């Protein structure tokens, strides 16, 4: 589809661009510093974007001469990103960390980063994929260092930039090798041409090196071992709402791009390559979840604890990507849906506790069950769900991921994941023990607004219900990714020529 005709399907992205520009313009007005007008503009833009997405149905079209594709897969990830962004904006309105004088710029960048994430989920061209990844990365660097008066925040942004620059350069070199080997930047075409290229023994090493370099860039975005080094420091130094955003939206966008490139691009060379990609990805998955959980064990800062937990959950999600099949992709999408509610809910509790008690340490949560019962019970639900205990949604999500690995015969990976889940229970239960069984010097009840309690229930209720009613959600996922298979080169070529 040519550029003009493509605009009818590009409305959500255009709304995001317009909202970001409107937020910037409003921030220049004198009244913007004294109210949350910019935040409400951003929330309004998100609402309009969701309406535009749902009103379009489930198209399956290549846009802008084959550069991106709008389909159920990309739409599902867009909804996850938008819901996470809306929650982050609401968190930011509650947070005491952010300077009111710079909140306008903050909300503008936060809404603008959605454009990059949308393109990461929709890219069918290596150039667009790389530009989208860089758009998200540069905006994330700014958000991570937004607390300019805080040394930890500045350090987090600096480390983020350094690691990001290295990963970006490495990935770009890998993409250039792939383009040189295949003569095309179209991801679906690459899948077929690589199968021909790798049939020549002299080309196999080049394909292997290129694939590893591309995985470096994608592994950095999802914070998988050994590309995780930036994660803990950035998550701890960034504002709490930004940490919540990066742990869910950035991870979801990274997995969307990983699936696009590896499933459509490299999926057809798995059996022909000298490298066993299934085993390689399985080892990365096992190392990621193991490191994340072991590193979280000694943490006393709840925010940093959740940061290492996020790395571990990236390892669990990689279990679905190991086999590059439909079952694994469905499991990833379902787990990301559950992860959205339980992880954002946990970070919202951290924000509320930090605002009222001025700390992020486990000791700040002592006797929370007496001072704020709803907060304590909700946090316990989120943490036990992150562990994967029944009867909570996290169990359903991990069950599907484990099943996907078992179908591929990766029994050892399932055992490693089960052991890691048991390890994670130890550091999660430390927070629960402090909330329910440890005494505090301060016994004054903590009160929260009705809106905060309602938002807390918005995260807590699905964390329980998606255990019981997981099948309808799974059926929705099956519907939206139907037809998500490598497209014939002839179809792509015909589409581009038109």
Please confirm whether the linkage preceding 391 is cis (ω < 30° from 0): yes
The Cα–Cα gap between 210 and 191 comes to: 14
Q: What is the pLDDT of residue 490?
A: 36
**The 3-state secondary structure of 276-323, one letter per residue:** CHHHHHHHHHHHHHHHHHHHHCCCCEHHHHHHHHHHHHHHHHHHHHCC
Q: Give yes or no for a contact between 259 and 221, defined as CB atoms under 8 angstroms apart.
A: no
Q: pLDDT truncated to tens, each residue of the chain (498 aa)? A: 777 888 888 999 999 999 999 999 988 888 777 778 888 999 999 999 999 999 988 888 888 888 998 888 899 999 999 999 999 999 888 877 777 777 788 899 999 999 999 999 999 999 999 999 999 999 989 888 888 777 888 888 888 888 888 888 999 999 999 898 888 888 888 877 877 777 776 777 888 888 888 888 888 888 888 887 787 788 888 888 888 898 899 899 999 998 888 887 776 555 444 456 778 888 999 999 999 999 899 989 898 899 889 999 999 999 988 877 788 888 999 999 999 999 999 999 998 988 888 788 889 889 889 888 999 999 999 999 999 998 899 999 999 999 988 888 889 999 999 999 999 999 999 999 999 988 877 778 788 888 889 999 999 999 999 888 888 888 888 888 876 654 433 333 333 333
The residue whose two tokens read 């009818």 is 8
CA–CA distances in Å: residue 141 to residues 7, 17, 110, 159, 451:
30, 19, 11, 9, 31
Q: Using DSSP, how many helices (H) and how many strands (E) does the chain show?
A: 22, 2
Q: How far apart are CA 46 and CA 12, in angstroms?
A: 9
Alpha helices in 408-443 (DSSP H): 411-437
The candidate with the shortest Cα–Cα distance to 15, out of 53, 60, 59, 62, is 53
Long-range CB pairs of 457-461, under 8 A, 24+ apart, other chains included: 457/378, 459/341, 459/342, 459/344, 459/345, 459/348, 459/378, 459/382, 460/345, 460/377, 460/378, 460/381, 460/382
Total-model pTM: 0.90
CA dihedral 291, 165, 122, 284 (to 10 degrees): -20
pLDDT at 326 (0 to 100): 82
pLDDT at 489: 37
């Amino acid at each position: 589809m040519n550029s003009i005709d493509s605009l009818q399907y590009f409305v959500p992205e255009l709304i995001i661009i317009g909202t970001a520009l409107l937020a910037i313009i409003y921030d220049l007005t004198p009244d913007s510093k004294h109210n949350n007008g910019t935040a409400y503009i951003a929330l309004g833009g998100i609402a309009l974007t969701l309406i535009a997405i749902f009103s379009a149905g489930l198209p399956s079209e290549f846009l802008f001469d084959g550069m991106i594709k709008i389909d159920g897969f990309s739409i599902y990830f867009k909804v996850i990103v938008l819901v996470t962004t809306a929650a982050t904006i609401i968190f930011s309105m509650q947070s005491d960390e952010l300077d009111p004088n710079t909140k306008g710029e903050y909300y503008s960048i936060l809404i603008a980063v959605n454009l990059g994430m949308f393109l990461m989920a929709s890219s069918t061209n290596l150039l667009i994929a790389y530009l989208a990844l860089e758009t998200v990365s540069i905006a994330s660097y700014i958000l991570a260092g937004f607390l300019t008066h805080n040394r930890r925040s500045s350090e987090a942004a600096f480390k983020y930039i350094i690691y990001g620059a290295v990963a970006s350069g490495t990935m770009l070199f890998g993409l250039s090798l792939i383009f040189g080997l295949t003569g095309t930047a179209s991801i679906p075409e690459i899948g077929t041409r690589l199968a021909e290229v790798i049939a020549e023994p002299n080309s196999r090493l080049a394909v292997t090196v290129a694939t590893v370099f591309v995985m470096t860039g994608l592994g950095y975005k999802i914070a998988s071992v050994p590309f995780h080094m930036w994660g803990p420091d950035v998550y701890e130094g960034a504002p709490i709402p930004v940490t919540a955003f990066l742990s869910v939206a950035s991870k979801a966008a990274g997995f969307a791009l990983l699936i696009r490139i590896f499933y459509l691009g490299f999926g057809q060379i798995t059996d022909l390559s000298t490298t066993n990609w299934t085993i390689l990805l399985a080892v990365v998955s096992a190392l990621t979840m193991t490191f994340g959980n072991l590193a979280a064990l000694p943490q006393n800062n709840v925010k940093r604890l959740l940061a290492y937990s996020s790395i571990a959950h990236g390892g669990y999600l990689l279990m679905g990507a190991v086999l590059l099949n439909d079952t694994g992709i469905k499991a990833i999408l379902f787990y990301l849906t559950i992860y959205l509610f339980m992880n954002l809910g946990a970070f919202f509790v951290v924000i509320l506790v930090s605002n009222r008690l001025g700390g992020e340490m486990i000791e700040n949560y002592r006797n929370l069950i007496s001072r704020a019962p709803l907060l304590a019970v909700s946090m316990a639900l989120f943490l036990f769900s992150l562990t994967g205990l029944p009867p909570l949604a996290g169990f359903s999500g991990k069950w599907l991921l484990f099943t996907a690995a078992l179908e591929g015969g990766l029994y050892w990976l399932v055992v490693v994941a089960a052991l890691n889940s048991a390890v994670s229970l130890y550091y999660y239960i430390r927070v629960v023990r402090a909330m329910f069984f440890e005494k505090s010097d301060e016994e004054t009840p903590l009160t929260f607004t009705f809106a905060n309690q309602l938002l807390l229930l918005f995260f807590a209720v699905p964390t329980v219900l998606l255990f019981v009613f997981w099948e309808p959600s799974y059926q929705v996922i099956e519907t939206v990714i139907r037809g998500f298979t490598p497209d014939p080169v002839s179809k792509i070529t015909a589409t581009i020529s038109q």
